[in-house]
Amino acid sequence: MNEAPLAGVKVADFSRVLAGPLATMTLADLGAEVVKVERPGTGDDTRQWGPPWDAHGSSYFACVNRSKRSVALDLRDAGDLAVARRLAAEADVVVENFLTGTMDRLGLGFDALAADNPRLVYCSITGFGSGEGATLPGYDFVVQAVGGLMSITGQAGGEPTKVGVALVDVLTGKDAVIGILAALRERERSGLGQRIEVSLLTSLLGSLVNQASATLTTGVAPGRMGNQHPSIAPYETLRCRDGLVAVACGNDDQFRRLCGVLGVGAVAVVSAQTSSNGDPGMSFLHNRDRVEHRAALVEVLERALATDDAETWVRRLTEAGVAAGQVNDVAHALEYADRLGLDPTVEVGDGHPRQVRHPIRWGRSPLPPPTPPPTLGQHTTEIRSHLQEHR
């Protein structure tokens, strides 16, 4: 009988807000048994983050906490702390995102737990690491600022702008899952667990890819370019008769096809004629040329695009093998994915709104059906009873 990829893996989740809960929900989606430890009375901070709300609570909390069980424990109380230690002692994975040193002071640090559970994989998620930045609180918005992301987001000459979602938390949560899965795989060889650490700042820097590479190569930090790409053209939004269309030409052949559809084929093949004063005209033949003369290129393309609407251009360009799309809002993006047969959402039951499903499809391994996000302390009695029986 096929089982979910992480069936049998037990996770003690001491994290809250977004990066940690996203990581542990991903593990739950893949079949792990996840127990979420929350403060009595208030629980995870995101339970209070709204609007929007539904009949069950905050939609923010719901988006990263499905398929978990919740136990309410006051880690300042000796009895509750003992329960937390027993929970961690039987876990395969512990995930936490307290300020560095907090779990050690509670007797829930890696060294203390690994002494009794040497196979434990222990994942610490921090804002700025466990060294000089250990005392700095890690909030996505601040990390977007100090990590350089805001400096390259927004219109040229405009104010630095955050991304429209807590992207750094999301990236960090995914990095945490990668580390956890790799550590579980390594445990199969060594028989031992280990502590891994991922920080919001290093996850962000790792995601800056070509922009970070360009900075290290030239010594010059890139700036904001709106929807334009620093190294490719056209790779941006272009204005047509009724709005914007996103066009991405990753090579010269795609650009020639774009020009063919727009009826400006000569632009792709031949340099502009020599001007009357003898100066050579500009060329759009190769990507390097198009980047250098981007403003003139955009003027030519938008003049052609102004003759029809975005939907028509997207259809024609797509048929020609040119990557193009309308600028959707989130609702239309979900509808678009559904039309493509990607089944982007999933029912979690008990009258809860649908959620965005785990993005990976599996050819053989079945995933467990998702369950609703737990109410605060919903499984406290059940979990306490289990841990008491297995002392």
Is residue 254 situated within a structural domain? Answer: yes
User: Is residue 149 located within the same domain as residue 264?
Assistant: no
User: Is residue 186 located within the same domain as residue 245?
Assistant: no
> Which H, E and C letters describe 306-341, residue by residue?
CCCCHHHHHHHHHHCCCEEEECCCHHHHHHHHHHCC
Q: What is the pLDDT of residues 286-339, one digit of tens each?
A: 999 999 999 999 999 999 999 999 999 999 999 999 999 999 999 999 999 999
Q: Is the pLDDT of residue 109 over 90?
A: yes
Confidence of residue 164 (pLDDT cuts 50, 70, 90): very high
User: Is residue 128 located within the same domain as residue 197?
Assistant: yes
**Is residue 212 left, alpha or beta, with left meaning phi > 0 and alpha meaning psi from -120 to 50?**
alpha
Q: At what angle do helices 294-305 and 252-262 cross, to 10 degrees?
A: 40
In this predicted structure, what is the pLDDT of residue 280? 54
Q: What is the CATH number of the domain that holds 270?
A: 3.30.1540.10
User: Is residue 40 located within the same domain as residue 158?
Assistant: yes
Is residue 225 situated within a structural domain? Answer: no
In this predicted structure, what is the pLDDT of residue 330? 97
In this predicted structure, what is the pLDDT of residue 91? 98
Is the separation of the CB atoms in 70 and 36 below 8 Å?
A: yes
**% of the chain surpassing 90 pLDDT:** 93
- Whether 169 sits among the annotated catalytic residues: the reply is yes
Q: Which domain holds residue 279?
A: 235-328
User: Is residue 185 located within the same domain as residue 318?
Assistant: no
Is the separation of the CB atoms in 169 and 19 below 8 Å?
A: yes
Average pLDDT over residues 87-104: 96
Average pLDDT over residues 35-53: 97
Is residue 75 situated within a structural domain? Answer: yes
In this predicted structure, what is the pLDDT of residue 278? 45
Domain count, the chain: 2
What is the spatial distance between Cα 219 and Cα 212, in angstroms, rounded to a whole number?
Answer: 10
Is residue 119 situated within a structural domain? Answer: yes
What is the spatial distance between Cα 213 and Cα 231, in angstroms, rounded to a whole number?
Answer: 12
Q: What is the pLDDT of residues 377-387, one digit of tens each?
A: 999 999 999 99
Average pLDDT over residues 208-216: 97
Q: What is the CATH number of the domain that holds 79?
A: 3.40.50.10540
Is residue 178 situated within a structural domain? Answer: yes
In this predicted structure, what is the pLDDT of residue 277? 46
- For 33, other C-beta atoms within 10 Å of its C-beta total 19
Is residue 48 situated within a structural domain? Answer: yes
Is residue 61 situated within a structural domain? Answer: yes
Catalytic residue among 13, 140, 169, 175: 169
In this predicted structure, what is the pLDDT of residue 266? 78
User: Is residue 91 located within the same domain as residue 193?
Assistant: yes
In this predicted structure, what is the pLDDT of residue 281? 63
- Locate 130 and state its tokens: 């466990």
**% of the chain surpassing 70 pLDDT:** 96
What is the spatial distance between Cα 284 and Cα 291, in angstroms, rounded to a whole number?
Answer: 9
| Beta partners for residue 326, in sequence order | 245
User: Is residue 108 located within the same domain as residue 137?
Assistant: yes
In this predicted structure, what is the pLDDT of residue 1? 64
Is the separation of the CB atoms in 286 and 252 below 8 Å?
A: yes
337 vs 137, more confident: 337
Q: What is the pLDDT of residues 256-291, one digit of tens each?
A: 999 999 999 878 765 444 444 444 567 898 999 999
Is the separation of the CB atoms in 314 and 324 below 8 Å?
A: yes
What is the spatial distance between Cα 351 and Cα 354, in angstroms, rounded to a whole number?
Answer: 9
User: Is residue 202 located within the same domain as residue 164?
Assistant: yes
User: Is residue 360 located within the same domain as residue 319?
Assistant: no
In this predicted structure, what is the pLDDT of residue 270? 54
- Of the candidates 303, 328, 353, which is a domain's last residue? 328
User: Is residue 271 located within the same domain as residue 201?
Assistant: no
Is residue 214 situated within a structural domain? Answer: no
In this predicted structure, what is the pLDDT of residue 268? 74
What mean pLDDT is reported for the chain? 94
User: Is residue 275 located within the same domain as residue 361?
Assistant: no
User: Is residue 288 located within the same domain as residue 139?
Assistant: no
